[in-house]
Structure formats: structure tokens, C-alpha cells
Amino acid sequence: MFIKVNREKCTGCSLCISSCPYDAIVLHEERAQITPLCQLCRACLGVCPEGAISEVAEASDQKEKGQGSGVWVFAEQRDGVIAGVSLELLGAGRRLAGQLGTDLSAVLFGKVGPGPEELIRWGADRVYYCADDSVANFNDEPYARLLADLITEHRPEIVLAGATAIGRSFIPRIAARLHTGLTADCTSLEIDPETRDLLQVRPAFGGNIMATILCPHTRPQMATVRPRVMKPAEYASDRKGEIIPVSAAQAVSRTRVVETIREVSEVAVNLADANIIVAGGRGVGGEKGFALLFELADALGASIGASRGAVDEGWIPYRHQVGQTGKTVGPKIYIACGISGAVQHVVGMQSSDIIIAINKNPEAPIFNIATYGIVGEIAEIIPLLTRKIREAKGL
């Protein structure tokens, strides 16, 4: 495939030039020209008002589609506890399997009490379960080898894993080994009804743009999925499925975990599980302003979040940070106080059910995503809101 400019249609208006992220389009004799810097990213397609830019297929683009069937979810566990994202993946996987008319399998490494049965109750038809001690703890090489071998043997068409420290570390090794595509940190997964390909949507450029990624020819199509974006399927305690024991014969690892140190701050846990989050940004004005937010949070039984701006100012520790470089949260109510709504923050909280924005600037972008917006000063609004909520709750 390559990108072509029709010189007859081109008017030399330069619109395409500014659309190219790689500086790969230049004006040559008053017409746009694609240079060898072109990365084939397609950003320029559709920009041209004259329709002079198009992609041209080549014979080498034609590849036979790989074979496979079934949707797989890698169910991550640490210390014998299955990660929440694994249940979310089963929810997403159940939906995709339904659309494809196929079944859903989970893969579980390491001994987890009632783990395999639980995965079935959360939606899996089948669980490949390796309870060997050699995979009880996460190590990249044995995990990658075992999962790659299972994929090679059973040929699923889709493999999903959590975009966690573990998933994002070892799943790429499998993609490399099997020469198939892997899309990182997806926030939406759909099936293209015509091609049956998986449409994988993910943020890029720090969340400033979204991209839909395809893996059209090779199987499986693999994706890591951002935690707290997908919804778990319905839990059914009477659901039946098949548990297939698997052995990790060659669990050779050149890395070894010497020691594991848990540093879960209470806040991190609270943010992840919070029903309500009260978050503050630069507009809160300082530590005094945050004290008001803490009172509101107290009245609501909420956790405290923050934008990067407030953290950079030193008003509140980093562990409260929500956004691209902080935590991703999905509470029922997110109250954004003095947060302008930079996209880097929004990607970390946009899946909240209800977003309440309080900001003195009526033009702040946060209002574009807010369910309810109030224009006003934090120092005035927050104490009043706290009082009214206490009254409404009869406190």
C-alpha cells in the first residue's frame, strides 16, 4: 500500500501538509508530494477538499487470513487473587464471542482456590488451568512460553489480557513469537460485522487522539485492555463449564523474583473501588482549597482524586492523581473541582457514570464531558454543596 496525490486534482492548498504527523508531505511545483518520510499512517486521507489523496493497494497487501476460533481471556492472578480486570475481560469476551457465534475460554496460571469455577461463573465456557508451582508467581518467560504454546495448540481467534503491569510486560513476547498483532491498552472492542475482524480502539498521543487498530491477516488478534473500562458479565453461581488442566513442562526462566514488596496505599485502593470521587485541580488554589474538598468527600463518603496540575503544585500527593499518567477510575459520581479538563485527565475518568464539573471558567473543556456543570468559585460552591448534602442526608 502507498499514498498517492493526484496532481490533476491537487490545488496546492497545503491542508494535507499540516495534517501529516511525520512531515512527509511537501509542496513540489505547487502540488503536494508524498516523500519517503511517509509512515503510511493515513492521517492525510480525507483531509483534501479535492479528494486528491488516496491510498493505492499493491499486490503484496493481499494476504490470506489466518485461521482460528474462540475468544480467550488471560485471567491474571497475584497471590491467588484473580485481578478485577480479568472479570471485566470475561464480560467483554462474552459479548464478542456472542457476536462471533463462538465460545469463551479463560486461561489461568497459578493455583487459585475456587478460581477456575469462579471464572466459569463469571462467563467462561472453558478454563485452561495450570496449577503448577512454577507458574504460581509471575515471570515473563515461562508465562509467555506456556500461553504461546496453548495458543499454537488451540488456535483462538482473539486473545485478551489486562493492560496491567503483568499483561503489558509478557503478552508482547507472545505477539513477537507468534508473529501476530497486539494492540495495547484498548478502551473499546467491537466486531466488524462484515469482515469479523476485531476493531480495537485505543488512545494514542497521550490520549489526544483515538485510533482504531485492525489485525486483518494474522490470528489470534491480541489486545491488552485498560482496567475499569469494560463491564463484567453477570455472575451466575449455577453456570457450568469445562476445566482443562494444563502442565507447564518447560518453565525455564532467566529472571527470578527475589522479593515482592506491596505498597498499596489506602488511597490507591479507595480510588479504584470508590463509588464517588471528589477531585481537585489547579483551580482549587492550594492546600486550603483541598481541605474543603476533603470535607465534601467526608459528607459524601467519597475518595479524593487530583489532576496532574494540583499534584505538580505539591498540594496533594501523586497517589491521588487521576489521568493518563495517574490512575484510571470509573466511579458512579466524579466531582471535578477546579479541573479544566485537559484530555490527559479526561482519559482517566471519562467512564464515570455521572460527572459533575465545578469551575469558574465557563469555557473550561471539562464542561463538555460533564453531566452537570456549575460555574462558580470553589471557595464558595464547595462549602455550600457540603452543607446541602449533609442536610439532604440528614447529617
Partner 1 sequence: MKIVVCIKQVPDTAEVRINPETNTLVRDGVPSIINPYDMHALEAALQIRETAGGEVTALTMGPPQAEAALREAISMGVDKAVLVTDRLFAGSDTWATAYTLCKAVEHIGADIILCGKQAIDGDTAQVGPEMAEFLDMPHVAYVRKIDEVTNNRIVVQRLMDDGYDVVESAVPVLLTVVRELNIPRMPSLKGKMAAKKAAIIRLTAADLKADENSLGLKGSPTQVKNIFAPEAKTNRMMLSGTAEESIDQLVKELAAMKCL
- Site residues for partner 1, 343-382, by CB under 8 A, read 343-344, 346-347, 350, 354-356, 367-376, 380-381
- Supply the minimum distance, in Å, between the C-beta of residue 328 and partner 1: 11
What is the rounded (10 degree) CA torsion for 137, 173, 188, 229? Answer: 20
Long-range contacts formed by 167-171: CB under 8 A, 24+ apart: 167/74, 167/76, 167/224, 168/224, 169/140, 170/138, 170/140, 170/143, 170/144, 171/74, 171/144, 171/147, 171/222, 171/224
Give the angle 77-81-84 at the CA atoms, nearest 5°: 75
- Supply the minimum distance, in Å, between the C-beta of residue 121 and partner 1: 24
| Residue 38: CB atoms within 10 Å | 15
Nearest residue (CB) to partner 1, 232 versus 365: 365
* Binding residue for partner 1, selected from 50, 133, 152, 165, defined by CB under 8 A: 165
264 belongs to the binding site for partner 1 (CB under 8 A): yes
Nearest residue (CB) to partner 1, 28 versus 42: 42
Determine the straight-line distance between the first and last CA of the chain, rounded to whole angstroms. Answer: 66
CA distance 297 to 276: 8
- Alpha-carbon distances, residue 228 vs 87, 175, 272 (angstroms): 10, 24, 8
317 belongs to the binding site for partner 1 (CB under 8 A): no
9 belongs to the binding site for partner 1 (CB under 8 A): no
Nearest residue (CB) to partner 1, 102 versus 359: 359
- Supply the minimum distance, in Å, between the C-beta of residue 113 and partner 1: 19
Instruction: Give the interface size with partner 1 as a residue count (CB under 8 A).
Output: 103
CB distance 222 to 174 below 8 Å: yes
384 belongs to the binding site for partner 1 (CB under 8 A): yes
What is the rounded (10 degree) CA torsion for 171, 177, 181, 183? Answer: 20
Which position has the grid cell 469551575? Answer: 359
* Binding residue for partner 1, selected from 8, 256, 266, 314, defined by CB under 8 A: 256
The binding track of 173-192 with respect to partner 1, each residue x by CB under 8 A or -, is xxxxx-xxxxxxx-------
Q: Among residue numbers 62 through 121, which ones bind partner 1 (CB under 8 A)?
A: 78
- Give the burial string for 355-368 (b: 16+ CB within 10 Å, else e): bbbbbeeeebbbbe
132 belongs to the binding site for partner 1 (CB under 8 A): no
Q: Among residue numbers 222 through 251, which ones bind partner 1 (CB under 8 A)?
A: none
Nearest residue (CB) to partner 1, 204 versus 236: 204
Q: Among residue numbers 273 through 302, which ones bind partner 1 (CB under 8 A)?
A: 276, 300
Residue range at the interface with partner 1 (CB under 8 A); choices 20-28, 90-98, 110-118, 128-136: 20-28
